[in-house]
Amino acid sequence: MIISLDPRVNRAAIEADNNIEPLKDLDQWETYEVFHQKRRGDQHMHVGIVHAPNAEMALIFGKEQFGRRGLSVNIWVVKTSDVFTTEYDDSDIFETVPEKQYREAGGYKVMDKINKYKKGL
């Protein structure tokens, strides 16, 4: 029997050679991705994961693991297995040629024309 300085351990009456069966796959349940909103009006942001057996518990757990210091007003959870992602190997699909000024605000410079027009008046 373990004799401990911790009264909790003594109350549990634990054998020192308490070999146990290893945990089986999914013993710790599946994972949910957790998103939280810091303030009303903000986007929800990914903050991490929780292991949970169902969505309600994922919400209960997510609230405490990621919002216990009052930094959230709302959270979402979604099963990790339900999330579709692009591959980092394909991150070059986000690269694009720089000649796409037509869809940037900076691509439109009208002051030259206005000034020229004013001078001509």
Closest distance to other proteins from the beta carbon of 98 (Å): 20
Q: Is 24 helix (H, G, I), strand (E, B) or coil?
A: coil
Closest distance to other proteins from the beta carbon of 51 (Å): 6
Closest distance to other proteins from the beta carbon of 42 (Å): 18
Task: With beta carbons less than 8 A apart as the criterion, state whether 29 and 52 touch.
Answer: yes
Q: Is 54 helix (H, G, I), strand (E, B) or coil?
A: coil
Task: With beta carbons less than 8 A apart as the criterion, state whether 15 and 27 touch.
Answer: no
Binding mask 84-103 for other proteins (x = CB under 8 A): -x-xxx--------------
How many residues of this chain interact with other proteins, rule: CB under 8 A?
Answer: 50
d(CA 88, CA 100): 24
- Is 63 a binding residue for other proteins by CB under 8 A? The answer is yes
d(CA 10, CA 14): 7
- Is 115 a binding residue for other proteins by CB under 8 A? The answer is no
Interacting residue ranges for other proteins, rule: CB under 8 A:
2, 4-9, 11-12, 14-20, 22-31, 33, 46, 48-54, 56-57, 60-61, 63-65, 68, 80-81, 83, 85, 87-89
